[in-house]
Structure 1
Amino acid sequence: MNRKVSRLLTGIALLVIVLLVWQYYPPTKQHNNVTHDEGFNRNLMPIIYTKHARCRMGYRHIDEDEVKQILLNGRINYKKSQLNSKPDPKYALEGYTADNQHVRIIFAPSQHGMVVITVIDVNEEWQCDCK
């Protein structure tokens, strides 16, 4: 009888461990089999900056060259992107600037060029008056 109880308790303990691991480390979602750059043209020109993006760039000390480097070399963060956004999808690209600033830049490719929506410093919350 002790052996049966021991096996039952061991089974329950393993089940609890699996459920805890599942809760804290959920399986990553597939992004509809989207590859790294599928549907995203990194060479779309001209680069068009919104008033909001220009404001954020000023407060965060990020210049146009750094934005271009993130556009060309940044990693798409699909969790922060809005690929079904209308009228244009929004891609969140992340990377590090030359001065090691971790940034996320939201780009929206449009028929007029690549629109920079906003610029975010991932590690630091800057005070600004941007609307």
Structure 2
Amino acid sequence: MQNKRSKKMVSVLLVIVFAIVFILITRKTTKQEQPAPTPAQSGQTVIAPDAPLQYTKHARCRMDCRGISEAEVREVLREGHINYQKSDLNDKPCPTYAIEDRVAEGQDLRIVFGICDQSVKVITCIDLSEEHDCACS
């Protein structure tokens, strides 16, 4: 009698565990499939599109090597979406945001911005569609 009861309990527990795993997998898959909204679509105002930008030496080198203009950096800032997997909101000394967009020239770009107090720094510029051999430090 007790053996039947133990088997029934194990069966019930297995069903519960499988249900939880199924729910977790379904939720994770659904979140990954949805593209992040653009700042304009979601009302995000992380960085004002007309904010004064300071370019690091590294960013300038990457821009030069990859043929990325200041106008394209602004375009990404204005129309792109935040890639939270590549951003670090707990970065020190300032949070960093990786914003991605396909610019008018056809390049898929990721621009990493650092936001400290009232300043916005362009940290690096990445061309996601083409590998470049840059000698930037």
TM-score normalized by the length of structure 1: 0.70
Contact 1:44 1:114 in 2 (8 A): no
SS of corresponding position for 2:31: coil
Q: Does 1:117 align with 2:123?
A: yes
Contact 2:111 2:123 in 1 (8 A): yes
**Shift in Å at residue 41 of structure 1?**
2.4
Matched residues in 1 for 2:74 and 2:126: separation? Answer: 15
Q: Does 1:77 align with 2:57?
A: no
Q: Find the partner of 2:31 among 28, 31, 37.
A: 28
Look up the equivalent residue of 2:78 and give its one-letter code. L
Look up the equivalent residue of 1:129 and give its one-letter code. A
Q: Find the partner of 1:108 among 93, 111, 114.
A: 114
Greater shift in the superposed pair: 39-48 or 92-101 = 39-48
Matched with 2:102 is: 96
Q: 1:55-70 residue pairs with structure 2 within 5 A? A: 55-70=61-76
Contact 1:108 1:115 in 2 (8 A): yes
**Shift in Å at residue 37 of structure 1?**
5.7
Contact 1:44 1:113 in 2 (8 A): no
After superposition, the C-alpha distances for 1:34-65 in whole angstroms (9 at most, x for unaligned) are x9465612246320000000000011100000
Listed as ranges, the gaps of 5+ residues in structure 2 are: 1-17, 33-38
**Shift in Å at residue 114 of structure 1?**
1.2
The RMSD of aligned alpha carbons is 2.5
**Shift in Å at residue 98 of structure 1?**
1.4
After superposition, the C-alpha distances for 1:45-88 in whole angstroms (9 at most, x for unaligned) are 32000000000001110000000111111100111100111111
Contact 2:49 2:74 in 1 (8 A): no
Q: 1:10-29 residue pairs with structure 2 within 5 A? A: 22=25, 26-28=29-31
Matched residues in 2 for 1:37 and 1:77: separation? Answer: 16
Higher share in helix = 2
Q: Does 1:126 align with 2:132?
A: yes
TM-score normalized by the length of structure 2: 0.68
CA distance 1:87–1:39, shift in 2 (3 Å) = farther
Look up the equivalent residue of 1:57 and give its one-letter code. M
What number of residue pairs does the alignment pair up?
A: 107
